[in-house]
Amino acid sequence: MKLHEYQSKFLFREYGIPIPQGRVAGAADEVQEIAAELGGVVVIKAQVHVGGRGKAGGVKVAKDAAEARRHAENILGMDIKGLRVEKVLVDPGADIRQEIYLAITNDRGARMPLIMASMEGGMDIEELNRERPEAIIREHVDPIMGLQDYQMTFIASAMGMPRAQWRSFGKILRGLYQCYVKSDAELAEINPLVITGDGELLAVDGKVIIDDNALFRQPALTAERDTSDEPESERQAREAGITYIKLDGQIGCMVNGAGLAMTTMDMTKLYGDADGIGPANFLDIGGGATPEQVAAALRIILSDDNVKCVLFNIFGGITRCDEVANGILTAYNEVKPDVPMVIRLQGTNAAEGNRIISEAQLPNIISAETLTEAAKRAVAAVKEGA
Amino acid sequence: MSILIDKSAKVLVQGITGRQGGFHAKLMMEYGADVVGGVTPGKGGEWFEGKPVFDTVRTAVQTTNADVSLVTVPARFAADAIMEAADAGIRLVICLTEHIPVADMMRVVAFCRARGARLLGPNCPGVMTPGQAKVGIIPAMVATAGNVGVVSKSGTLTYEVGFAMKNAGIGISTIVGIGGDPVIGTTFVEVLEMFENDPETEKIALLGEIGGSAEIVAADFIKNAMTKPVAAFIAGRSAPPGKRMGHAGAIVDGGEGSAEEKIQALEAAGARVAANPEEIPGLLA
């Protein structure tokens, strides 16, 4: 779960990390008030879950409250890469002497937390990593022991942090590590952390991503979830315990298991790409899917008007093919799909599942023995219907 | 021979009185695995299908000499269950549970290493040595005994490939599901090394997917340290970048973890990469 910039920075503040004294607003009037209160130069920043806000015109500097209001009128409601701006952060302008990058993330290869720090902050870290990887200091933290003082000294020294800032940098790094651990973050990033003209450190922009699997023990953060950029169909799927991601193709895929679901998508593209045919979605019904879940999944798949054929690929392990077959019948009678469905059931109780399907004698059902056959038949069905 | 488990493995099931744990414990016993007991805190002294249930892994190990444990407990309790097994001297801990927080797994992996226990998973289907034993949920019907080692991130995709191999008359030495989570106990490279050293294994099938860089590291190992031929498949060629595809690990961000770069690295290392998993048997023939 991604946090917005303002949520990330307010979270940092709880861990003693200095941030600009800004506030969030949803209306231009409010922005004007906040700017007047702060006085002087302010920055208006769109709060959306995408990168490149600045280039899209979602970040503007204003000399006074009146200008702040004009910018807010433009930014609020603006469309940035398909997302509507609902909120802006109004921060006092900072006197920036130097921009620093500082982040902690999960290094899955090393299976340890990784601290990354660079005196060349401000820019996109991926770009910096491509162009000048040596400018980024990397330090792993023992997940059992936690961050040690000598590691903070090493990082400050190796990155070239001026000595005058070592002490305050150490406090910020320790705060960020605490924040990362206590929030179950996958990423806790300050970019830029700035050194001001007065030599103070200030977290001017921030990004935090929380591990979805840990949300059960993060009630306060869970309450901050902003689902406004989540498509309706994906929200319905999440609530039904199904993983669904909408794509652009014509073949709706219903599969058990994430790896096999991706593979099934790949097969529709492998055999359909030449004719512009491909997967309409990723959908994993999970292990041990119930008839109700199958029905919910089918409804979600068919809510996409691009879908011209549905491909069921079930390899029963924990999932039982007879239960899936019953789910397909329930869903069929409820949803009455008007597109052909290719059904391939294999593994646990496959014979029983196939019998249930064939005895129901539904119109527009195409059966398949193998994955390859199923993908080819789904592609053919889309072509015939076109 | 085989890797990780054979007939002699003495297996505990943590969570044996649960629905999933009990269901799969029975299937494992039917397959021939030596399930010596189970662990469910608060249910010590009960029996499951003639096998004793213990409150703790420590007492279970003292009584049964178990050396392998299957963790089937829910995500909130799974990290603790794995550490309990490692602390009790279990040699191989296999964790089926999905949705364990990554922060917990980083600590657990370090703990297992310190205790000298090997962890497989989490979020994995387990291990099966056809004709001998299985620990986990891999269906018996997907493999016959033979000389190809299979290592995979994904459960059902493994069944798909095993089944296609069986239909083509190709047998398997051991199937190892390493799991699709971002942080796992045993990596592709560690399993490849075991297969390279296993006299019963002549060829290897590797099933990977988008996200992370484990397949790239595996490609390096294949190039530099392996003599046995490898066939591979990478799932997720059609996945758009930046989207999480079910498996916590299956996400492509920036340049790291796309199907194309993994396929290229594996091909450059001499592996034969299939565009369709049902072509794997042909590449192994």
Q: Show residues of chain A in contact with B254, CB under 8 Å.
A: 126
Query: Looking at chain A from residue 79 to 138, which residues have their Cβ under 8 Å from any Cβ of chain B?
Result: 106, 108-109, 111-113, 126, 130
Token pair, residue A201, equals 């450190």
Domain identity same for B114 and B147:
no
Domain identity same for B266 and B222:
yes
Nearest CB partner across the interface for B157, out of A247, A260, A372: A260
- Number of structural domains (chain B) is 2
A258:B278 CB<8 A? no
The pLDDT assigned to B1 comes to 59
How far is the CA of A324 from the CAs of A174, A253, A327, in angstroms?
51, 14, 5
Domains, chain A, in order of start with CATH, read 21-92 (3.30.1490.20), 96-222 (3.30.470.20), 232-385 (3.40.50.261)
Compute the residue count for chain B: 285
Token pair, residue A160, equals 């070239």
The pLDDT assigned to A173 comes to 98
The pLDDT assigned to B203 comes to 98
Are B132 and B6 spatial neighbours (Cβ–Cβ below 8 Å)? yes
- Residue B133 maps to a domain: no
- Residue B128 maps to a domain: no
Mean pLDDT, residues A144-169: 97
Mean pLDDT, residues A6-28: 97
Query: In this model, does residue B254 exceed pLDDT 50?
Result: no
User: Nearest C-alpha of chain B: how many angstroms from A286?
Assistant: 9
B246:A184 CB<8 A? no
Domain identity same for B186 and B83:
no
The pLDDT assigned to A243 comes to 87
Domain identity same for B74 and B162:
no
Domain identity same for B53 and B168:
no
Q: Given the residues A120, A139, A189, A323, select the one marked as catalytic.
A: A189
Encoded amino acid at A42, one letter: V
For the stretch A309-319, pLDDT in tens is: 999 999 987 78
B142:A259 CB<8 A? no
Number of H helices, E strands in chain A: 13, 18
- Please state the pTM of the whole predicted model: 0.92
- What percentage of chain B has pLDDT greater than the value 70? 94
Q: Show residues of chain A in contact with B162, CB under 8 Å.
A: none
Query: In this model, does residue B130 exceed pLDDT 90?
Result: yes
Domain identity same for B160 and B271:
yes
Query: In this model, does residue A50 exceed pLDDT 90?
Result: no
Active site residue A101: yes
Mutate to test the interface with B, among A49, A189, A221, A266 (most CBs of B within 10 A): A266
Query: What's the rounded Cα separation, in Å, for the pair A243 and B63?
Result: 42
Domain identity same for B180 and B57:
no
User: Nearest C-alpha of chain B: how many angstroms from A180?
Assistant: 10
B277:A371 CB<8 A? yes
- Residue B2 maps to a domain: no
A184:B101 CB<8 A? yes
The domain that contains B59 carries what CATH number? 3.40.50.720
Helix orientation angle between A149-159 and A166-182, rounded to the nearest 10 degrees: 120
For residue B67, give its domain range. Answer: 10-120
Query: Looking at chain A from residue 240 to 299, which residues have their Cβ under 8 Å from any Cβ of chain B?
Result: 243, 245, 247, 255-263, 265-270, 278-279, 282, 284, 287-288
Alpha helices in chain A (DSSP H): 5-14, 28-38, 65-75, 125-131, 149-159, 166-182, 219-222, 232-239, 258-272, 291-302, 321-335, 350-360, 371-385
Domain identity same for B203 and B277:
yes
Query: In this model, does residue A28 exceed pLDDT 80?
Result: yes
Q: Given the residues A15, A101, A244, A332, select the one marked as catalytic.
A: A101
Mean pLDDT, all residues of chain B: 94
Token pair, residue B123, equals 């979020």
Are B53 and B40 spatial neighbours (Cβ–Cβ below 8 Å)? yes
Burial call B242-265: b when 16+ CB within 10 Å, e when fewer = eebbbbbbbbbeeebbbbebbbeb
- Residue B262 maps to a domain: yes
- Residue B154 maps to a domain: yes
Mean pLDDT, all residues of chain A: 93
Domain identity same for B115 and B214:
no
Kindly tell me the sign of the dihedral angle through the C-alpha atoms of A228, A230, A232, A236.
Answer: negative
User: Nearest C-alpha of chain B: how many angstroms from A42?
Assistant: 32
- Residue B5 maps to a domain: no
- Residue B275 maps to a domain: yes
Query: What's the rounded Cα separation, in Å, for the pair A265 and A311?
Result: 10
Alpha helices in B65-135 (DSSP H): 75-87, 102-115
Whether chain A has a CB inside 8 Å of the CB on B27: the answer is no
A258:B245 CB<8 A? yes
The pLDDT assigned to A335 comes to 82
The domain that contains B166 carries what CATH number? 3.40.50.261
The pLDDT assigned to B244 comes to 64
Query: In this model, does residue A268 exceed pLDDT 90?
Result: yes
Which of A203-212, A219-228, A250-259, B134-143 is predicted least confidently?
Answer: A219-228
Token pair, residue B6, equals 């054979």
The pLDDT assigned to A131 comes to 86
Least Cα distance to B107 among B86, B136, B135 occurs for B86
Domain identity same for B80 and B48:
yes
Complex confidence, ipTM = 0.92
Query: In this model, does residue B245 exceed pLDDT 70?
Result: no
- Residue B108 maps to a domain: yes
Q: Which of B58, B88, B120 is the last residue of a domain?
A: B120
Nearest CB partner across the interface for A317, out of B137, B164, B235: B137
The pLDDT assigned to A227 comes to 79
Query: Looking at chain B from residue 132 to 161, which residues have their Cβ under 8 Å from any Cβ of chain A?
Result: 137-139, 141-142, 152-160
User: Nearest C-alpha of chain A: how many angstroms from B198?
Assistant: 25
Least Cα distance to B241 among A134, A247, A144, A184 occurs for A247
For the stretch A80-137, pLDDT in tens is: 988 899 999 999 999 999 999 999 999 988 999 999 999 999 877 878 888 888 999 9
Encoded amino acid at B53, one letter: V
The pLDDT assigned to B212 comes to 85
Q: Which of B120, B154, B174 is the last residue of a domain?
A: B120
Q: Show residues of chain B in contact with A267, CB under 8 Å.
A: 276
User: Nearest C-alpha of chain B: how many angstroms from A190?
Assistant: 19
Query: What's the rounded Cα separation, in Å, for the pair A260 and A243?
Result: 13
Are A116 and A101 spatial neighbours (Cβ–Cβ below 8 Å)? yes
Q: What is the DSSP letter of B253?
A: B
Q: Is A338 helix (H, G, I), strand (E, B) or coil?
A: coil
Domain identity same for B73 and B103:
yes
Mean pLDDT, residues B5-9: 94
Whether chain A has a CB inside 8 Å of the CB on B212: the answer is yes
Phi, psi of B242 (to 5 degrees): 85, 0
Query: In this model, does residue B252 exceed pLDDT 50?
Result: no
Query: In this model, does residue A58 exceed pLDDT 90?
Result: yes
B239:A348 CB<8 A? no
Give CA A154 to chain center in angstroms: 33
A–B interface: beta-carbon pairs under 8 A: 163
* Residues with Cβ within 8 Å of residue A291, at least 6 apart in sequence: A323, A324, A326, A327, A330, A331
B156:A259 CB<8 A? yes
Query: What's the rounded Cα separation, in Å, for the pair A368 and A372?
Result: 9
The pLDDT assigned to A288 comes to 66
Query: What's the rounded Cα separation, in Å, for the pair A386 and A379?
Result: 11
Domain identity same for B98 and B217:
no
Query: In this model, does residue A42 exceed pLDDT 90?
Result: yes
The DSSP bridge partners found for residue A83 are A80
Kindly tell me the sign of the dihedral angle through the C-alpha atoms of B197, B199, B203, B204.
Answer: negative
Q: Which of B60, B86, B120 is the last residue of a domain?
A: B120
Nearest CB partner across the interface for A260, out of B110, B160, B254: B160
User: Nearest C-alpha of chain A: how many angstroms from B63?
Assistant: 31
For the stretch B48-63, pLDDT in tens is: 999 999 999 999 999 9
